[in-house]
Amino acid sequence: MDFNDTPEEAAYRTRARDWLESNVAEHKAQGHADDMAAARAWQARKAAAGYAQITWPKEWGGGGGTPIQSVIFGQEEAKHPVQYGYFTIGLGMCVPTVMAFADQATKERFVGPALRGEEIWSQLFSEPAGGSDVAAIRTRAVRDGDDWVVNGQKVWTSGAHYSDYGILLVRTNPDVPKHKGLTMFWLDLRSPGVEIRPIHQMSGGSNFNEVYFTDVRIPDAQRLGEVDAGWKVALVTLMNERLAVGGGGGAGPKEILKLAREIDAAEGTLLQEPAFRQKLADWWVQSEGLRNTRMRTITALSRGQTPGPESSIGKIIAANQLQDIGNSAVEAEDQFGIIADPALAPLKGLFQSAVMNAPGLRIAGGTDEILKNIIAERVLGLPGEIRTDKDAAFKDLKA
């Protein structure tokens, strides 16, 4: 494992740092009507400089760079207050799927506007009956001339309420085993018959939606991949999802240490309590383990290798730690723990936000249990799950 930049990486980091410093200052000075307007402006600025999608080819507006350059830019960008989440799903998962499976004209129409933040995409996979088991989805598409007619329901669709387009996985053939009767399409989310209903969260926000389809007509020309071969297309999206879903959320051992110094306890501050010190030591060791695991990934990227399954391990540990630290901090804040307002809560409500977001992080992009299955089967080589539904026709499976 190598903790240092190579001379080329150090030079790239300096260039990225310099670009960020002057451009973040100009971006802030411009002033923007709202968070979305600021996000679009920042995305356009990055796209113009080749920093929007560093690993994408230049012909598609990317930076033509390497994964390690992307990591370096991400590390430097994280030091500035320009973290906007609106484009992560589109650029991380949906548009790469479009790039892999759409025709040239479709790619030319959509890749640039998405990259520049002009259009936003959603991923319409999960349904009430199909989450971890994506192949269990029931939303149905039936062929009618040059169109397909779609009926059904999606759920947990992040950002659908502000998105323009989506990639949609549907069942086109219920007479074959579940993985063999799916097809993928791209669609305009303002098509007649699409109804987007925001879901209200405990944080007060509404980032997810239920999306209903009633006789929605999608031209066959909007199909991504072959009819009934949507599982292959979905796997490309899901592989990118594992890379795009991030880790922790800023509420780590250093932050709770700061809080513990300020909170009164029976004798002195919370930091002097043996039970708390024990927990803090555990979090610290975990964080160092995570940091070293991330360095292994970065070292592999730096050497031009593909990182191994350690990202699955990292996500389980980071999401659980975030939840544990958030809960412990809010409990330690006692009656003040209930105040989530960033203007009033300690550390601008960092821990309150961790309490509300960590449960979702443990589910999104692979639940703890699914990631443990992956580690058991692919890392430890343990026997796979017994799957009795693999060869049965989908229509014969229990609902």
Ligand X SMILES: Cc1cc2nc3c(=O)[nH]c(=O)nc-3n(C[C@H](O)[C@H](O)[C@H](O)COP(=O)(O)OP(=O)(O)OC[C@H]3O[C@@H](n4cnc5c(N)ncnc54)[C@H](O)[C@@H]3O)c2cc1C
Site string for ligand X, 118-157 (x = CB under 6 A): -----xxxx----xxx----------------------xx
3-state secondary structure of 19: helix
Q: Which is nearer to ligand X, 46 or 362 (CB)?
A: 362
Which of 114, 224, 329, 364 lies at the binding interface for ligand X (CB under 6 A)? 364
Which of 18, 195, 331, 369 lies at the binding interface for ligand X (CB under 6 A)? 369
Taking the complex as a whole, the smallest distance from the CB of residue 384 to ligand X amounts, in Å, to 10
Taking the complex as a whole, the smallest distance from the CB of residue 23 to ligand X amounts, in Å, to 29
- Which of these segments, 144-152, 254-262, 310-318, 369-377, binds ligand X (CB under 6 A)? 369-377
Look at the block and give the residue holding tokens 């149905």: 140
Q: Which is nearer to ligand X, 369 or 391 (CB)?
A: 369
* Residue in the shown chain whose Cβ atom is closest to ligand X: 131
Taking the complex as a whole, the smallest distance from the CB of residue 169 to ligand X amounts, in Å, to 8
Burial 26-42 (b: 16+ CB within 10 A, else e): ebeeeeeeeeeebbbbb
How far CA 30 is from CA of 23, 41, 96, 125, in Å, comes to 11, 9, 31, 38
Interatomic CA distance for residues 310 and 374, integer angstroms: 11
Which one, of 352, 8, 381, 330, lies nearest residue 205 by Cα?
Answer: 352
Question: Six-digit token pair at 207?
Answer: 């980032």
Contact 169, 135 (CB under 8 A): no
Size of the site for ligand X (CB under 6 A): 19
Question: Six-digit token pair at 350?
Answer: 């960092």
Question: Six-digit token pair at 342?
Answer: 């960033």
Which of 99, 199, 243, 370 lies at the binding interface for ligand X (CB under 6 A)? 370
Asked if 246 interacts with ligand X (CB under 6 A), we say no
**Near ligand X in 52-111, by CB under 6 A:** 89
**Near ligand X in 149-208, by CB under 6 A:** 156-158
Taking the complex as a whole, the smallest distance from the CB of residue 131 to ligand X amounts, in Å, to 2
Which of 88, 106, 191, 367 lies at the binding interface for ligand X (CB under 6 A)? 367
Look at the block and give the residue holding tokens 């192949």: 135
Phi and psi dihedrals of 20, rounded to 5? Answer: -60, -45
The Cβ of residue 383 has, within 10 Å, a number of other Cβ atoms equal to 7
Interatomic CA distance for residues 24 and 263, integer angstroms: 35
Which of 294, 360, 374, 389 lies at the binding interface for ligand X (CB under 6 A)? 360
Site string for ligand X, 330-359 (x = CB under 6 A): ------------------------------
Look at the block and give the residue holding tokens 């800023």: 250
- Residues at the site binding ligand X, with contacts judged by CB under 6 A: 89, 123-126, 131-133, 156-158, 360, 363-364, 367, 369-370, 373, 385
